[in-house]
Amino acid sequence: MGRPSKYSEEFRADAVALVLTTQISIAQAGRDLGVNPETLRNWVKQAKIDRGEGPAGALSSAEREEFTKLRRRVLELEQERSILLKATVFFAKETTR
């Protein structure tokens, strides 16, 4: 997972709303708000995806979060499996002595 954002969710939502509800360009809004225009562009893009207006196959924020949790869980299960396999081998050797 990435580093925590220095911008609150409320600030992000307000910045996205400013771009989507006015004629202000992303570049101008970014300058006015002190946000890198590419960062703001990514926020707007993700907001559109979350509203179902993104390209086919694009993951919503909720789907991204679930995907991240699932990847973390798979890694955890793979580590547990590896430990269990090593323990099985160890105990199998112990019982044959």
Three-state DSSP at 77 gives helix
Q: Residue 15 in contact with residue 29, Cβ under 8 Å?
A: yes
pLDDT score of 93: 87
Phi–psi pair at 90, nearest 5 degrees: -60, -50
pLDDT score of 86: 95
Give the pLDDT confidence of 11-36 residue by residue, as tens digits: 999 999 999 999 999 999 999 999 99
Amino acid found at 67: F
46: left (phi over 0), alpha (psi -120 to 50) or beta: alpha
> Tokens 């954002």 label which residue?
5
pLDDT score of 94: 83
Give the pLDDT confidence of 43-90 residue by residue, as tens digits: 999 999 998 888 888 889 999 999 999 999 999 999 999 999 999 999
Output the pTM of the full model. Answer: 0.65
